[in-house]
Structure 1
Amino acid sequence: MKPQVEIVQPGALLDSTGALAQVGWSRQPLLDCNLEMARFYRLRFFQRFRMKRWDYYAVFTPRRFFSATIADLGYAGNVFVYILDFATGELHEEGLVIPLARGVVLPRNSTEGVSRFENKKVRLDFSVTPEGRRVEVWWPGFNRGRGLSAEILLHCPPEQESMNIVIPIGRRRFYFNRKINCLPAEGSLQYGAETERLMPTESIGSLDWGRGVWEYRSFWNWASASGFLPDGRTVGFNLGCGFGDTSAATEDAFILNGRIHKLGAVRFDYDPSDYMKPWRFSDQEGRLDLELTPFKVRVARTNLGIIFSEVHQTFGRLNGRVTSDAGETMNIENLIGFTEEHHARW
């Protein structure tokens, strides 16, 4: 198996010709996201309509899964929030499509700044602070006036490692992504008349920070989990496949106490005709053997003609084993996570 390329030198994402300056993965965000250097259309004015940028936050509490996203798809913005009750299975999601992404603010790099969208009905505000990453949501009309608000701090110390990847998609397109798992969460999550207090010893979050230029027709699988081992250590997984040239690197890793343990390419085995059947994950080196037993499927569809997206996101409990870089084999028992199948024309 060809070894994966670890990026260790900081630099620019794109060189003066618009090509990727480096390809591979890294433990820290080392590359400056200089999207202004992209060169994939002769008329540069049209390039912004093909660039995709998003910040997707996910938080697991003892009772719920909560997620909030701000995205700029070039020709439109998209903000959405959803919440899942583990005991009852109640899932509710709402979103807005914003023409030409007016009012959507996203920072240049994942290490800085504020991501924001606000109008008279909703406000989403994500910010990077010395303590970590703050996620604030205000949506009083959510679920027919039931209302939802969140004020959450995800602790992210400077030494926290993350799964960073940059890979080409064809000749001029690319995927640049940072996934941060296992961020202890504290604050409050209010849904209707209930307010849940989040404690960092039992609630945990993650970030999917994506930038890039995809093919018009795209497909991918992704799986993610963050939680706690019985001894109190944090443990998480980030697994993905389906698009781009991954010969230099995949985004497959498991995270133990804030440190990345890189895996080779991971295989997703599942039945696309029945997402409630178990999903299996295994790698080429025999370090990972996991099974996700589903308890809920979220289906999200957007169909605006030439713009189409369909996501089947399956929530379940992970069981199996994984081996660290140091050779420690850990049993994973009933770790809640999710996996998804995504088709898009965008």
Structure 2
Amino acid sequence: MQHEMAEGDLLDSKGSLLERGYATSEVRSYRRRAIKAPWYRIKEWDYYCVLNEDYGLALTVADNGYMGLLSASWLDFEKPDTVTDSIMLPFPRGRMGLPESADAGDIAQRHPKMDIAFRHLEGGRMLSIDAPGFAHGKGLKGEVFLAQPPMDRMVIATPFPRAPRAFYYNQKINCMPASGAVTFDGQSHEFAPATSFGILDWGRGVWTYDNTWYWGSASGLLDGKSFGFNIGYGFGDTSAASENMVFFEGRSHKLNEITWQIPPSGFDKDPWTFTSGDGRFEMIFVPVVERDATFDMKFLRSIQHQVFGHFTGFVVLDDGRKLDVANFQGFAEEVENRW
């Protein structure tokens, strides 16, 4: 079942989802004040990832109640190598002021070690990073503009079993052409819109304590046309809708469940396999480099295996057209959180 949501508020007077399902735009209005759960269960974040075949940038701002996070990653696909620096902020409790909409409201977080900003401009979004001490003093600084022409996105409202006040409201915006430059270790790296594309993972919700999720994403050009996809599962009750969706020329094509097969040899050693019961999404994913990040205080833990590489296979659109995909850049991840 794939239930498409209508417009309206996200939560009722008891803090539970009014409607569960998916959409292709921000149809439901999130209001933090409508949440009825304890402050330490509220999780809010914006995550951007910008990639081309040679390098990439990932930026995160998160307010997870008892822990805030500023994080930046530089990805080098030629070496290959990844570098991540993160700043932990104690007990923000909503004071970081993350916007209640993915389409309005800016984020500007200043810290002695790292400044991150996400701002809305006409026609898109500007990402800014300034971290002089990044990678033991190598430094990371730059601005990247993500153009956002009219296009569909993946939106999903997911409840959690036996937790009526828990929910996840998530938006994934794929296929945003990127332009700008980032300097790492004294060398400038250009992002050009013909070869570089960004995605946004916008999450707001009340999470249960122990969860493991799986997420995959890709954005770029296929035969000169905008193409990408979002796939994932692992958390909450997804009986009303999955988050699996293909984007082609700005239009979404909804998919049902997709089975992930991660090789027992490890996340970054052998190919992953993705298959769908209806035969509309069949992919082999070949890893290039893993961004492995672990924060473990036993009661508070995040173990992240984000693997960047290339997808090869095919997708079938809603109208039956088959699109062949070869060595298409993207990533897939497994993340375990106790928070």
Judge same fold: TM > 0.5, yes or no: yes
Q: How far apart in 2 are the matches of 1:163 and 1:272?
A: 30
Deviation at 1:273, TM superposition (A): 4.7
| Residue of structure 2 in register with 1:280 after alignment | 273
The count of corresponding residues between Structure 1 and Structure 2 is 335
1:304–1:74 distance in 2 versus 1, CA, 3 Å: same
C-alpha distance after superposition, 1:133-179 (max 9, x if no partner): 1111111111121111121110112x211000001012221110000
Kindly indicate whether residue 86 of structure 2 is the aligned counterpart of residue 95 of structure 1.
yes
Give the corresponding residue for 1:112.
104
1:266-286 superposed Cα distances (whole Å, 9 cap, x missing partner): 111112551122111111211
Cα shift readout 1:235-287 (whole Å, capped 9, x = no counterpart): 11110011111110010011112221110011111125511221111112111
Distance (whole Å) between structure 1 residues aligned to residue 111 and residue 32 of structure 2: 27
SS of residue paired to 2:80:
coil
Compute the displacement of 1:116 (Å). 2.3
TM-score (structure 1 length as normaliser):
0.94
CA distance in 1, matches of 2:257, 2:159: 16
Deviation at 1:214, TM superposition (A): 1.4
Confirm or deny: 8 A CA contact 1:53 1:73 kept in the other structure: yes
From 183, 186, 195, the counterpart of 1:190? 183
Confirm whether residue 59 of structure 1 aligns to residue 50 of structure 2.
yes
Match of 2:69 among 63, 66, 78: 78
Task: Determine the C-alpha separation between the residues in 1 that align with 2:97 and 2:125.
Answer: 16
Larger CA deviation: 147-156 vs 272-281: 272-281
Deviation at 1:125, TM superposition (A): 0.3
Aligned equivalent of 1:210, options 203, 214, 220: 203
Partner of residue 251 from structure 1, selected from 243, 247, 250: 243
SS class of match (1:264): coil
Equivalent residues in 2 for 1:1-346 (5 A)? Answer: 3-7=1-5, 9-40=6-37, 47-101=38-92, 104-157=96-149, 159-170=150-161, 171-229=164-222, 231-275=223-267, 276-346=269-339
Letter in 1 for 2:19: Q
How far apart are residue 200 of structure 1 and its match?
Answer: 0.9
Q: Percent identity?
A: 37
Is the Cα contact below 8 Å between 1:125 and 1:135 reproduced in 2? yes
Q: CA–CA distance in 1 between the matches of 2:35 and 2:240?
A: 21
Q: CA RMSD in A?
A: 1.3
Q: Residues 178 and 272 (structure 1 numbering): CA distance in 2 closer, same or farther, change over 3 Å?
A: farther
TM-score (norm 2): 0.96
Partner of 1:172, secondary structure, is: strand
Does the aligned pair in 2 maintain the 1:70–1:116 contact within 8 Å? no
Give the drift of 1:316.
1.4
Cα displacement string for residues 319-342 of structure 1 (whole angstroms, at most 9, x for unaligned residues): 001111121111111111111111
Distance 2:218 2:225 in 1: 14
Q: 1:185-214: per-residue Cα shift (whole Å, max 9, x none)? A: 011111122112221111110000001111
Unaligned stretches of 5+ in structure 1?
41-46
Q: Report the secondary structure of 1:87's partner residue.
A: coil
